[in-house]
């Protein structure tokens, strides 16, 4: 079905690629603009369950996801001497997995979704929207490279720090609720614990989580300071210093994990927050995913 109508999507992660898939199915000409030079890699594994299972079936991705699923077997809670105080066996090795809940590597799923749309969607990498102008029957998007293009609709699928939301709806501070805690994530390409195991270590207001799968380990560090911290989420040097300072004096494997986390090429840091808006649409512009209604990464539903 050809509608001879066009949409521009800002962001090429899950919200952007999913929106692109369905808008293309509805007959729209779809363009995705992504600020990075390629798809954004990295991040912890993704859960697919509840209504999402039916959606990936309709997108033709279910069997591929099933074939690439992770199989976490055990949780372990550690003390400062690296002794296990409590463990929880999720399943025995080789035990049949359920068909209504899946965990999959973020990058693997992202590649699947990209492959599903790449031949039908125009991708513009290393560029971004800097301004939007409402026209009579369209919206004009001005890009970082100075070019201007008109689209019937604009979708902001560009995450918690959405540029589309800031440009069209107002500053981030108007819609962000800080939840009092920060987190950092790094992925190292080696096993720091036994594969298919998740370990947790906690001190007052701080914790580590390790998750080992497919020859790699996720390192997640969270902390709750006395007051909110001011920082630029784009400034890697600044945010790594914040994490470094917060890890000082911690026990367990903190010294080792600090080095691994701070030296990782896959490093992410941000605050736990919720995005709350009275409306996700205004005129011909809409927000999808974390840009409009992030429940916080802490909810496990992002």
Q: Residue 189 domain-assigned?
A: yes
Segments forming the whole domain that contains residue 28: 6-45+105-173+276-299
Domain of residue 241, CATH code: 3.30.9.30
Using the 8-state DSSP alphabet, how is residue 226 labeled? S
Domain of residue 18, CATH code: 3.50.50.60
Q: Residue 57 domain-assigned?
A: no
- Among 192, 241, 195, which Cα is nearest to 220's? 192
Q: Which residue has the tokens 């809670």?
A: 77
Q: Residue 11 domain-assigned?
A: yes
Q: Residue 55 domain-assigned?
A: no
Whether residues 216 and 164 fall in one domain: no
E-state strands within the chain: 6-10, 29-34, 46-49, 74-78, 84-89, 101-104, 122-125, 129-134, 139-143, 148-151, 153-156, 176-188, 197-203, 206-213, 216-223, 267-275, 281-282, 285-287
Whether residues 166 and 182 fall in one domain: no
Total domains in the chain come to: 2
Whether residues 250 and 151 fall in one domain: no
Q: Residue 77 domain-assigned?
A: no
| Burial group, residue 248, by CB count within 10 angstroms (0-12, 13-18, 19+) | exposed
Using the 8-state DSSP alphabet, how is residue 96 labeled? P
If phi > 0 it is left, if psi is from -120 to 50 it is alpha, else beta; for residue 195 that is beta
Which tens digit of pLDDT belongs to each residue from 72-109? 999 999 999 999 999 999 888 777 887 888 999 999 99
Q: Residue 50 domain-assigned?
A: no
Q: Residue 159 domain-assigned?
A: yes
- Among 227, 223, 302, which Cα is nearest to 270's? 223
Tell me how far apart the alpha carbons of residues 205 and 226 are, in angstroms, rounded to a whole number. 10
Whether residues 209 and 286 fall in one domain: no
Q: What is the arithmetic mean of pLDDT over 133-152?
A: 96
- Is-contact 26 1, C-beta < 8 A? yes
Whether residues 29 and 109 fall in one domain: yes
Whether residues 115 and 184 fall in one domain: no
Whether residues 126 and 249 fall in one domain: no
Which tens digit of pLDDT belongs to each residue from 258-290? 999 878 888 889 999 889 999 999 999 999 999
Whether residues 135 and 206 fall in one domain: no
Whether residues 136 and 35 fall in one domain: yes
Whether residues 19 and 118 fall in one domain: yes
Tell me how far apart the alpha carbons of residues 68 and 97 are, in angstroms, rounded to a whole number. 12
Specify which residues 7 forms β-bridges with: 30, 153
pLDDT recorded at residue 302: 47
pLDDT recorded at residue 94: 76
Q: Rounded to 5 degrees, what are φ and ψ at 295?
A: -85, 0
pLDDT recorded at residue 91: 85
Q: Which residue has the tokens 């971004």?
A: 128
DSSP alpha helix (H) spans, the chain: 14-25, 51-58, 62-67, 106-117, 163-168, 236-247, 254-263, 290-293
Q: Residue 143 domain-assigned?
A: yes
Which tens digit of pLDDT belongs to each residue from 5-56? 999 999 999 999 999 999 999 999 999 999 999 998 888 899 998 889 999 9
Whether residues 149 and 264 fall in one domain: no
Whether residues 11 and 151 fall in one domain: yes
Confidence of residue 256 (pLDDT cuts 50, 70, 90): very high
- Among 170, 172, 142, which Cα is nearest to 154's? 142
pLDDT recorded at residue 96: 82
Handedness of CA 63, 68, 74, 80 (dihedral sign): negative
């Amino acid at each position: 079905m050809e509608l001879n109508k066009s949409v521009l999507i800002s962001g090429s992660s899950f919200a952007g690629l999913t929106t692109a898939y369905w808008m293309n199915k509805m007959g729209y000409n779809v363009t995705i603009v992504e600020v990075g030079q390629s798809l954004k890699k990295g991040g912890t594994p993704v859960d697919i369950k509840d209504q999402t299972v039916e959606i990936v079936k309709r997108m033709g991705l279910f069997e591929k996801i099933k074939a690439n699923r992770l199989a976490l077997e055990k949780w372990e809670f550690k003390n400062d001497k690296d002794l296990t105080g409590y463990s929880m066996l999720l399943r025995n090795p080789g035990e049949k997995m359920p068909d209504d809940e899946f965990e999959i590597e973020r990058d693997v799923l992202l590649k699947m979704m990209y492959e599903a749309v790449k031949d039908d969607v125009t991708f513009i990498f290393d560029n971004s929207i800097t301004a939007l102008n409402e026209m009579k029957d369209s919206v004009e998007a001005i890009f970082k490279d100075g070019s201007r293009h008109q689209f019937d609709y604009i979708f902001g699928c560009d995450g918690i720090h959405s540029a589309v939301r800031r440009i069209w709806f107002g500053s981030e501070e108007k819609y962000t609720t800080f939840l009092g805690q920060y987190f950092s994530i790094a992925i190292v390409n080696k096993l720091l614990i036994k594969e298919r195991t998740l370990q947790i270590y906690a001190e007052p207001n701080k914790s580590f989580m390790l998750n080992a799968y497919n020859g790699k380990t996720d390192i997640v560090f969270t902390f709750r300071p006395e007051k909110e911290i001011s920082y630029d989420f784009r400034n890697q040097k600044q945010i790594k210093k914040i994490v470094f300072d917060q890890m000082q004096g911690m026990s367990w494997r903190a010294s080792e994990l600090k080095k691994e986390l701070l030296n990782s090429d896959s490093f992410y840091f941000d605050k736990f927050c919720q995005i709350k808006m009275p409306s996700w649409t205004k005129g011909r512009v809409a927000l999808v995913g974390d840009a409009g209604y992030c429940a916080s990464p802490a909810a496990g539903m992002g």
